[in-house]
């Protein structure tokens, strides 16, 4: 697959640094140390473990699944990248600390200068968003990809909330539709404990996107308007446990992929379904989460459908260990590949941006232009 923003007639696509030519020796796992939010302890005022992404990487290194140079370093999404989905008005509103404090649910942020909020809070979230977009292309190229962050499923094109400031899921899908030939249908499998009302609002009238959402019916956001976009809606009760949950996940994942065969699956793998999570209200065990991820990956891989996983919500300190254990299990089950010979390309860190002239590419491998804007 070739990305080319210089072709005549592709005027709807801007130049971006997020679609990379990544050497085959790199694992399609995307991360940057910038993901982690540390700011004078203010991050502790939200129940979200704002350093969990780095902890996942630490555990994967301990288990020798990855090394420093074997994964792809995420790049920050630029304003031009974000404008593929977001309105200019919404992005301008993020320049007000009060707005960011409301979205992230960290009230003291409203007292801080916005340049600090941009640097310490929004830049990490923009980098995770860039990581999701990058992982979308990697998933198509490799058959699978994991962004260790992302999954901001409460944010839509013109509204953030629930710690979600950028609509990374919508962005990843729109980038693929506009830039990658042969990607015209997507399925979102959202298994975070909360309803994914952000991407649901964005794709409400877009028949190219099939949404399956499994969530606790009694908790935030309870967005009835957005629910109209869900093609497979599975509403759970308080305290749902492993057996019932896993049965429903398998039944509906298989059903969704049998109903419509997509060109890409975006899997929102929130771990806030874990028993004891202060916001999720469900009672799934660590082993249940690992099995859940295996079910979804197995359904995708058996059909040969590329899958992009993002980690989304999870509000306990132990969720990082569970995410790492799940990725390790996917490897053991043969559902994701590994770097068998241990060879690492220097270019893994940051990837290599593709800058090609029209004479370097074949017409069959390049999108002739963006799909119609339905957002």
Catalytic positions? 154
| Sign of the C-alpha dihedral computed for residues 91, 55, 174 and 268 taken in this order | negative
Sign of the dihedral through C-alpha 210, 213, 218, 221: negative
Confirm if 307 and 336 have CB atoms less than 8 A apart: no
Burial, 57: exposed, middle or buried (Cβ in 10 Å; 0-12, 13-18, 19+)? buried
- According to the 3-state scheme, what is the secondary structure of 16-33? CCCCEECCCCCCCEEECH
Cβ–Cβ under 8 Å, residues 270 and 194: yes
The DSSP element (H or E) to which 295 belongs, if any, is helix 286-303
Label residues 239-266 b or e (16+ Cβ within 10 Å = b).
ebebeebbeebbebbeebbeeeebbbbb
Residues of the chain by 3-state class (helix, strand, coil), percent to 5: 40, 10, 45
The residue with tokens 């109903």 is 259
Q: Are strands 307-310 and 264-268 parallel, antiparallel or unpaired?
A: parallel
Query: Would the CA dihedral through 200, 202, 204, 209 be positive or negative?
Result: negative
What angle separates helix 319-332 from helix 286-303, to the nearest 10 degrees?
40
Rg (CA), the chain: 19
Among candidates 136, 12, 119, which has minimal Cα distance to 74?
136
Q: Which residues contact 80 (CB under 8 A, 6 or more apart)?
A: 14, 15, 16
């Amino acid at each position: 697959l070739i990305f080319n923003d210089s072709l005549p007639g592709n005027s709807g696509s801007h130049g971006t640094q997020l679609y990379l030519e990544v050497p085959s020796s790199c694992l399609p796992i995307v991360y940057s140390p910038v993901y982690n939010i540390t700011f004078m302890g203010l991050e502790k005022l939200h129940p979200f473990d704002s350093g969990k992404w780095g902890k996942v990487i630490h555990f994967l290194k301990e288990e020798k699944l990855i090394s420093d140079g074997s994964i792809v370093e995420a790049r920050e999404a630029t304003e031009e990248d974000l404008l593929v989905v977001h309105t200019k008005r919404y992005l301008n509103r993020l320049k007000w600390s009060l707005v960011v404090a409301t979205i992230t649910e960290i009230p003291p942020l409203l007292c801080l200068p916005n340049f600090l909020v941009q640097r310490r809070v929004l830049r990490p979230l923009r980098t995770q968003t860039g990581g999701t977009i990058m992982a979308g292309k990697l998933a198509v190229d490799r058959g699978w990809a994991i962004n260790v962050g992302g999954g901001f499923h409460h944010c839509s094109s013109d509204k953030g909330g629930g710690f979600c400031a950028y609509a990374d899921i919508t962005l990843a899908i729109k980038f693929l539709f506009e830039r990658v030939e042969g990607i015209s249908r997507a399925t979102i499998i959202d298994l975070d404990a909360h309803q994914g009302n952000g991407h649901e609002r964005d794709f409400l009238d877009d028949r190219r996107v099939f949404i399956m959402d499994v969530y606790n019916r009694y908790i935030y956001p309870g967005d009835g308007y957005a629910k109209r976009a869900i093609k497979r809606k599975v509403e759970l009760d308080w305290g749902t446990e492993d057996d019932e949950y896993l049965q429903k996940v398998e039944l509906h994942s298989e059903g969704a992929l049998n109903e419509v065969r997509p060109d890409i699956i975006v899997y929102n793998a929130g771990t806030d379904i874990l028993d004891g999570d202060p916001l999720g209200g469900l009672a799934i065990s660590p082993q249940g989460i690992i099995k859940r991820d295996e079910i979804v990956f197995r359904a995708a891989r058996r059909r040969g459908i590329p899958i992009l996983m993002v980690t989304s919500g999870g509000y306990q300190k132990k969720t990082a260990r569970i995410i790492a254990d799940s990725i390790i299990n996917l490897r053991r089950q043969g559902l994701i590949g590994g770097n068998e010979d241990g060879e690492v390309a220097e270019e893994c860190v940051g990837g290599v941006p593709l800058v090609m002239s029209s004479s370097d590419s074949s017409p069959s491998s390049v999108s002739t232009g963006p799909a119609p804007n339905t957002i």
